[in-house]
Amino acid sequence: MSVKNIIIKTARQGLFEITSQINKLVVQETDIKEGLCTLFVQHTSASLLIQENADPAMQRDLENWLNRLIPENDPLYTHIQEGADDMPAHIKCSLTASHLSIPIVNNQLVLGTWQGIYLWEHRHHGGQRSIVIHISH
């Protein structure tokens, strides 16, 4: 069993692919032939996602769709002290995932051909996002 923590710096709202960082940990820092890689983001305004990594238009479309679904400055929001993007970021996080589980076979993540792992930053200015990676047999 292995537990690691990585920090991803985000400077803007959007999807940040982290597949290579996660795969590197599985391949180089473990000898697990078969197991499970569990990822957990330790924040309430960012999330994790497995999605297509071939066409950047997918990322823009997904971001635009979620921003339209959950607009800023909704008069229903009362949690507004940290800016217009804060409450929408919490809602987006609650509708997406804070953790993912990915099988490991032959010391490799078992992802589909066009699948990538993303950190989804929901705040405009981002920050340092901590992701816990637990790899087990």
- Rounded to 10 deg, the angle between the 86-95 and 56-69 helix axes is 110
Which pLDDT belongs to residue 24? 93
Set out the domains of the chain in order of their start, with CATH numbers: 2-72+81-136 (2.60.120.460)
Which pLDDT belongs to residue 1? 67
Averaged pLDDT in 10-residue chunks for the chain of 137 residues: 92 96 90 94 98 94 97 96 96 97 96 97 96 94
Pairing status of strand 2-10 against strand 127-136: antiparallel
Please give the backbone phi and psi of residue 64, each rounded to the nearest 5 degrees, phi first. Answer: -60, -40
Which pLDDT belongs to residue 103? 97
Among 44, 30, 26, 45, smallest CA distance to 102 is for 26
Which pLDDT belongs to residue 86? 97
pTM score = 0.94
Residue 107 three-state SS: coil
